[in-house]
Amino acid sequence: MTSRSTVQAYLPVTDSSQAIDRTKLASIRSSHAALTQNMDATTRLSDNTLRSLADRMQLSDDPISLEYLRRCVQNPSEDGACADLVARYNDLLFDSSQQSSRRRPPPPVVLPQTPSIQQPPPPVTTAVEDVESLTCIIRVKRKVTDTVLFIRQFLFQQPTNLNASARNHNLPAVTLNRNTPLTRGCILDLFIRQELLERGVLDFGRQMTRVPIAEPIQIEDEFDAWHFDRLRGILDLLLVPAASTTVFPLKWKLNENARIFYKLETDEQPPPSTSTEEEATSEHRNVDRPSTASLEQFVKDVCEKLNNGQAERWLELLRNEDIRTYTHLANLKHSEWNDIKSIPVNARKDLKNFVNLEKQMAAGKKKKERTDVKAFEEMRENGFADDGLFDRMKKFFLPLTLIEQDLRISDTQWSELAAKYHAENFQLENDRTSVIRDLAVVEDHYYNLDELMTQAAATTTTRTTTFDRQISAYRKEREDLEPRRSDLRTRLEQIDDMIKNINMALTGRTHTTNDKKLLKPNRGFIMYGPPGTGKSDIMTNLSKRMGISMVVQELAAGDLNRSLVGQSERIINDICMRCHLLPHLMCCVCIDEIDSLAPKRTGEAREGDIAKLSVLLSVIDGIKDVPNLMIFCATNRMHMMDDAFLRRMQGKFFVGRPSSQARKAILSGIKSWHMKPALLENLTMATTNFSGAALK
């Protein structure tokens, strides 16, 4: 007897709902409806009923096939049934992956032999295991709707489908809080495999429950501790074993044919319950910012974020140093941190980095609350756009928005442009012929006059008044022709140059490569003008508006001064070198009162000022050039600044006092119960030549 087909093979069922044969699915649903016409709801989905349905459809009645049949008929719509079938397929695939990982034999461990006096014991070696499946937890922390759309349009797309038209069609579906196979070859799949390939064998010295990828950058240099989140606090990417109750091996690497799943979690969805409180805390807890409510909670959150399991040990060491509150820890001076010898160096470094980061975030939060405004819109309302300030700034930042594709031209556009060039070339050729003809006439007449003067001088032996008058007439007529002759020659040279340029443009289409220097961004700008006109506000908000990464909080030039010789130069160098850690991003440093950092180099200049300026110039188109660094600066005294630094600042924007319309817009913010509306015009006139800061 011929074996019956399974439901999975009959439909067929895969990880894509598009592969399901809708005609066969409709046949199963109609047969079930006819079979259960007089049955109640419970009996319709019973195993006996499903076996009868399988027998009627000549399908296998094994447990998996019966479950698939139940998924086919229990949902009222065909689309819902397809989704249920795909979900069941993914669950079975995930379960089989877990079982295969459990069946893998434990890694061999070489036990040390009994040591002898002469022979030291060999070290314990652990074999490197291949991980055949893992899950990437995508934890969305902010802007859930927009972030999920970004995941579908970018992370889950194939690299060949990243154009605008492909991103908006056939977007892959996503599921929440469920292990789902990640499409092989998508951006996220390639990123995970490349990251693990570059890391090689992963050995953390202990078995890890999760491994973060795209971790934030945390360094401490001569200036301060710096923290940069590559994912901008929007989401986290964590790798966990495919089996939720297991841990990664002690030493492991990803198998080339490993199966990668993803699990999408959001703060809006409660995490699934686990068997123990410890598992729930270790697997699903999201620590973005360590709590400062107590020292214990701060240290636990830091260790949770570092995933090192050292919280209790660090707390014990801190208590031994008589540090019992977070305030004690936060108020430690630099020298006092170094005096804590009982705590390991890396532990001190990590704790100090997180303490400094917390201070920076607290200061940034307060500042954001004070200046939570849309800078550009506010400046436009205040009248700063009247003189085209922001329009000039848009042109300054234009190279940042260009890509190589913007320098290319389509065949249709090239055909239209080439036709225009050919028409211009044809007109120029006609003009050239006309100019040559006119020039020939003028030059013939010019040389005829010269010949007549020569003949007259040769035939006349004595000079008379008539002779002199005739020679003067010839000479004057020749001089009158000279401007016309010179203009025609100049016009002919111009036409030849234009024809040559057009021919070069027509042959330029054959070159397929673009000059990348055309995409080189500007290296910085300087805003100058009287005090109180908003230069610092514009400067400090531009990076956020333009998507440029700040490698340090906005600075005053005096913040870089140090008492020790050479220390200021090292600080400037370290801040600028942070950009090398973000090679694919444009970075900036905002410096106010830049004139004290880049003064004119005269005989009266101090050696320390010249040294600081030299370091700053070296990282901007200098010997230590940092290509992705931009300098945003402001000053009230640009005439006192170094010429070499000003040359490197391609943008120079004057910010003047507000106009009458701007002053009126600022003063109109005064409430009507504080000032009569009739006084607004008089007050606008009375505040002529006031700065924006004075008006506020």
pLDDT per residue as tens digits for the range 402-412:
776 777 777 88
Task: Give the tens place of pLDDT for each residue, 10-28.
Answer: 888 887 777 788 888 888 8
pLDDT of residue 104: 54
Q: Are 232 and 214 in contact (CB under 8 A)?
A: no
Query: What confidence tier does 275 reach under pLDDT thresholds 50, 70, 90?
Result: very low
pLDDT of residue 496: 92
Please enumerate in sequence order all residues whose Cβ is within 8 A of that of 597, keeping only pairs 6 or more positions apart, or say none.
557, 560, 591, 609, 612, 613, 616
pTM of the predicted model, to two decimals?
0.65
Q: pLDDT tens across 627-638, in order?
A: 999 999 999 999
Mean pLDDT of 644-654: 91
Whether the Cβ atoms of residue 654 and residue 528 lie closer than 8 Å to each other = yes
How confident is residue 371, by pLDDT bands cut at 50, 70 and 90? very low
Q: Are 400 and 524 in contact (CB under 8 A)?
A: no
Nearest to 115 by CA among 124, 127, 106: 124
Q: What angle separates helix 47-56 from helix 22-35, to the nearest 10 degrees? A: 120
pLDDT higher than 60, residue 157: yes
Position 494 scores a pLDDT of 92
Tell me what the mean pLDDT of segment 309-326 comes to. 86
How many residues are given for the chain? 696
The answer on pLDDT for 415 being more than 90 is: no
3 state DSSP class of 587: strand
Report yes or no: 191 and 231 within 8 Å, Cβ to Cβ. no
Query: What average pLDDT does range 507-536 have in this prediction?
Result: 76
How many CA atoms does the CB half-sphere of 565 hold within 13 Å?
Answer: 2
Please identify which residue in the block is written with the tokens 């022709």.
Answer: 481
Q: In terms of pLDDT, which residue wins out, 83 or 323? A: 323
Distance separating alpha carbons of residues 79 and 540, to the nearest angstrom: 51
| pLDDT tens track for 605-627 | 788 888 999 999 999 988 899 99
> What is the model's pLDDT at position 693?
65
Looking at 239-243, 572-576, 639-643, which range is the least confident one?
239-243
For residue 62, which phi and psi values (nearest 5 degrees)? Answer: -70, 165
C-alpha dihedral sign at 269, 275, 281, 282:
negative
| Angstrom distance (rounded) from CA 31 to CA 33 | 5
What pLDDT, on the 0 to 100 scale, is given for residue 590?
Answer: 92
Does domain 409-513 fall under CATH 1.10.287? My reply is yes
Are 157 and 167 a contacting pair, CB within 8 Å?
Answer: yes
- The whole-chain average pLDDT of the chain stands at 80
Degrees to nearest 5, angle at CA 482 with 476 and 484: 120
Domain locations in the chain? 7-100, 129-271+291-367, 409-513, 518-654, 660-695
Q: Which residue has the higher pLDDT, 289 or 303?
A: 303
Tokens of 143: 């802007």
Q: Is the pLDDT of residue 401 over 90?
A: no
Angle at 611 between CA 609 and CA 615, to 5 degrees: 120
Per-position b or e across 118-144, b if 16+ CB within 10 A of its CB: eeeeeeeeeeebebebbbbbbbbbeee
pLDDT at 119: 52
> What are the Cα distances from residue 634, in Å, to 284, 539, 590?
46, 7, 9
pLDDT band at 320, cuts 50/70/90?
Answer: confident
Q: In this predicted structure, what is the pLDDT of residue 270?
A: 46
Alpha-carbon 231 to chain mean position: 9
What are the pLDDT digits (tens) for 101-119? 555 555 554 445 544 445 5
Tokens of 330: 């936060």
Q: Is the dihedral of CA 278, 283, 285, 289 positive or negative?
A: positive
pLDDT score of 368 more than 60 = no
pLDDT of residue 5: 85
Write down the CATH number for the domain with range 518-654: 3.40.50.300
Share of the chain above pLDDT 90, in %: 17
Q: Measured on CA atoms in the order 641, 646, 647, 653, is the torsion positive or negative?
A: negative
pLDDT at 370: 35
Give me the pLDDT at residue 615, please: 92
310 phi and psi angles, rounded to 5 deg: -110, 15
> Which of 170-179, 409-418, 637-646 has the highest mean predicted lDDT (pLDDT)?
637-646
* Token representation of residue 163: 């154009």
Question: 481: exposed, middle or buried (C-beta count within 10 Å: 0-12, 13-18, 19+)?
Answer: middle
Residue 496 CA to residue 53 CA, distance in Å, equals 87
Task: Tell me how far apart the alpha carbons of residues 608 and 557 are, in angstroms, rounded to a whole number.
Answer: 14
Is pLDDT at 74 greater than 80 in this prediction? yes
Alpha-helical (H) ranges within 265-410 are: 277-284, 295-306, 311-320, 326-330, 334-339, 345-370, 375-381, 389-401
Residue 544: is its pLDDT beyond 80? no
